């Protein structure tokens, strides 16, 4: 049973480009969470999704950020028109319900 | 709003010592509490999960306790080893919000 898979592990984007981060949850897990870890800061919740539904997006910036978890395929966190302040580690977690969360290795986004 | 604090922020101990990491949270209405380990540049590894109805959990040299009424948890590491060097994160799951709120972590270094 593979763990939570995130790709890419490292992503470099120029300012103004789009960044797409992918997350495949553990088998049997229908709950996906995205967190962001800014340099020298703790992890902050961004969004909670179940298949085809956004349940809680209270931590998502209002502009440029979006997330989806389609019926088929991985969850996608999309950042449009990236800025230097978006440079961070983005972690995905999955769970079979509102219990133990399992985290992926993260995607480290660098905006140059 | 749930806030999680971890003390100390950093800790250096010689190999073989027993140590205690502290976590406190402001809202006692939690669903569960998880302790994670994060190595530099890596993802999060779940160490222990304590449900709100439990008082403690043990795994090997690790023991985590939970006092929900006072908003505190401790992670006890017995006979520390250099391989235990990492950042330890405490996170609480508030059932109504379906997300984890993280502390800023304790950076542990175990020296030879």
Put simply, the answer to whether A100 touches B101 (Cβ < 8 Å) is no
Model confidence pLDDT, tens digit, residues A7-21: 999 999 999 999 999
Strands B56-59 and B99-102: unpaired
- For residues B103 and A42, is the Cβ–Cβ distance under 8 A? yes
- For residues B35 and B64, is the Cβ–Cβ distance under 8 A? yes
Distances (CA, A) of B76 to A19, A77, B17, B47, B61: 40, 36, 11, 12, 8
A69 shares contact with chain B (CB less than 8 Å): no
- According to the model, what pLDDT value does residue B97 have? 54
- For residues A11 and A108, is the Cβ–Cβ distance under 8 A? yes
Put simply, the answer to whether A108 touches B41 (Cβ < 8 Å) is yes
For an interface test with B, the pick among A4, A26, A45 (most B C-beta atoms closer than 10 Å) comes out as A45
If one counts every other C-beta atom within 10 angstroms of the C-beta of residue A44, the result is: 15
Tell me the chain B residues in contact with residue A31 when contact means C-beta distances shorter than 8 Å. 98
- Tell me which residue of A59, A68, A58, A61 sits closest to A85, measured CA to CA: A61
- For residues A93 and A101, is the Cβ–Cβ distance under 8 A? yes
- For residues A105 and A88, is the Cβ–Cβ distance under 8 A? no
Put simply, the answer to whether B99 touches A108 (Cβ < 8 Å) is no
Model confidence pLDDT, tens digit, residues B15-69: 999 999 999 999 998 989 999 999 988 889 999 999 989 999 999 999 999 999 9
A24 CA: distance to closest CA in chain B (Å): 15
Specify the higher pLDDT residue, B60 or A52.
B60
- According to the model, what pLDDT value does residue B94 have? 80
A101 shares contact with chain B (CB less than 8 Å): yes
d(CA A12, CA A60): 21
Give yes or no for a cis peptide into B8 (omega within 30° of 0): yes
A48 shares contact with chain B (CB less than 8 Å): yes
Tell me the chain B residues in contact with residue A105 when contact means C-beta distances shorter than 8 Å. 42-43
Tell me the chain A residues in contact with residue B103 when contact means C-beta distances shorter than 8 Å. 42
Nearest residue on chain A to B38, alpha-carbon basis: A105
Put simply, the answer to whether A42 touches B103 (Cβ < 8 Å) is yes
| Token digits of residue B79 | 């006979």
Put simply, the answer to whether B102 touches A102 (Cβ < 8 Å) is no
Q: Where are the beta strands (DSSP E) in chain B?
A: 4-7, 10-14, 19-25, 32-38, 44-51, 56-59, 62-67, 72-77, 86-94, 99-102, 106-111
d(CA B72, CA B67): 5
If one counts every other C-beta atom within 10 angstroms of the C-beta of residue B18, the result is: 11
Dihedrals phi, psi of A55, to nearest 5 degrees:
-90, -40
Does position A1 have pLDDT exceeding 70, yes or no?
Answer: no
Does position B89 have pLDDT exceeding 90, yes or no?
Answer: yes
B42 shares contact with chain A (CB less than 8 Å): yes
Dihedrals phi, psi of B42, to nearest 5 degrees:
-115, 180
């Amino acid at each position: 049973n593979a763990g939570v898979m995130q790709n890419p592990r490292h992503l470099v984007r120029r300012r103004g480009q789009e960044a797409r981060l992918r997350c495949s949850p553990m088998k049997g897990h229908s709950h996906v969470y995205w967190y962001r870890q800014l340099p020298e800061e703790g992890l902050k919740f961004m969004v909670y999704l179940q298949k085809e539904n956004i349940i809680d997006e209270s931590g998502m910036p209002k502009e440029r950020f979006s997330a989806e978890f389609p019926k088929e395929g991985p969850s996608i966190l999309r950042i449009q028109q990236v800025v230097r302040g978006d440079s961070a580690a983005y972690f995905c977690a999955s769970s079979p319900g509102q219990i133990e969360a399992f985290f992926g290795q993260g995607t480290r986004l660098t905006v140059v | 709003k749930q806030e999680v604090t971890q003390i100390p922020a950093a800790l250096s101990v010689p190999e073989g010592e027993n140590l205690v990491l502290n976590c406190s949270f402001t809202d006692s209405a939690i669903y569960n509490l998880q302790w994670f380990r994060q190595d530099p540049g890596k993802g999060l590894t779940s160490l222990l999960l304590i449900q709100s109805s439990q008082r403690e959990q043990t795994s090997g040299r690790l023991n985590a306790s939970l006092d929900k009424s006072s908003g505190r948890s401790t992670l006890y590491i017995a006979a520390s080893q250099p391989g235990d060097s990492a950042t330890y994160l405490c996170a609480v799951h508030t059932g109504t919000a379906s997300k984890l709120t993280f502390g800023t972590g304790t950076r542990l270094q175990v020296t030879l």
